[in-house]
Amino acid sequence: MGASRRFAAIAAVAAVLVSGGCAVGTAQGPTGDAGGEEAAMSRTPVTRFTPLTEDDGYVPEGEGLDVDADVPALTRLDADLLAAVREAAEAAEAAGVEEVVVISGWRSERYQEFLWDAAVDLYASEEEARRWVASPEGSAHVTGEAVDIGRTEAAYWFSRFGAEYGLCQTYANEVWHYESVVEPGEECPLPADDASVRR
C-alpha cells in the first residue's frame, strides 16, 4: 500500500479523540475518498482500507452497545468476561446507574491496527501512542479479553464494584477499560500506569 493511501485513511480520522488502549474510533473508519477507488475496493477482499463494520467489532463514536446486544463486539468476547459484564451491568442498574453500555469490546486486528495508526499519527510518536493504544499484537481487545464501559457514571461504578464480578480497571489512565483479572470477590491489583506497561 502506498504511503499516500495510508495518509488518506489517517486523515479521515484526524479529528479522532484517541482514548485508551481502548481508543474508540470515529466516523466510518478508513474509507477511500475517490469514487473509482471505492468501486475498486468493493471487488477486492477486505483489507485495512475497507470501511470498518460491525464484523470488526466497530462501534461508532458516541454510540454504545447494550450489554445484551447480539453483535461481534460482544459475542466474540471471552464468554466468562461477557457473563461478568452482564451481571455487573445488571447490578449497577439496580443500584441506580442510569445507563451501562459497552463502548468497545472485541475488535478485529485491522480495527486495532487502524486505531494504532491513527494514534501514531496523532501523537507523532510510537512511544507516546503506546500509552494510549495497544498495538494489534498487544491488545486485550483483539483477544476478546477487554471491554470499555460507558457512560461515565457506569465506568466509575465498575471501578468501585467491578471486583465483585472479577472485573478490574487495568490501566490508571483508562477508567473505562476492564478485564477479568481476579476471581469474583477478590481484590483487584493496582492498575498499571498506562497501556505501555506490559503486565
14: phi > 0 → left, psi -120 to 50 → alpha, else beta; which? alpha
Nearest residue to 128 via CA among 138, 139, 116, 136: 116
- The least distance separating Zn ion from the CB of residue 86, rounded to whole angstroms, comes to 17
| Closest residue to Zn ion, based on beta-carbon distance | 22
**Grid cell 471487488 — which residue?**
43
Q: How far is the CB of 91 from Zn ion (least distance, A)?
A: 21
- Minimum CB separation of residue 18 from Zn ion in Å reads 12
Task: Give 110's contacts (C-beta < 8 A, 6+ positions apart).
Answer: 46, 47, 48, 52, 56, 136
Q: Least distance in Å: CB of 24 to Zn ion?
A: 9
Binding residues for Zn ion, per CB under 5 A?
A: 22, 146, 148, 177
What's the min distance (Å) between Cβ of 55 and Zn ion? 19
CA distances from 91 to 23, 161, 169 (A): 26, 9, 17
Structure-block grid coordinates of residue 52: 470498518
Residue whose CB is less far from Zn ion, 32 or 76: 76
Q: With respect to Zn ion, which residue has the nearer C-beta, 12 or 134?
A: 134
Instruction: Name the minimum Å distance from CB 132 to Zn ion.
Output: 10
Residue 49 or 178: the one with the smaller Cβ distance to Zn ion is 178
Cα end-to-end span (Å), the chain: 33
Phi, psi angles (nearest 5°) of residue 149? -105, 140
Does an H or E element contain 104, and which?
Answer: strand 101-104
Cβ-based nearer residue to Zn ion, 50 or 74: 74
Tell me whether residue 22 or residue 65 sits nearer to Zn ion (CB atom).
22
Closest CB to Zn ion among 18 and 22? 22
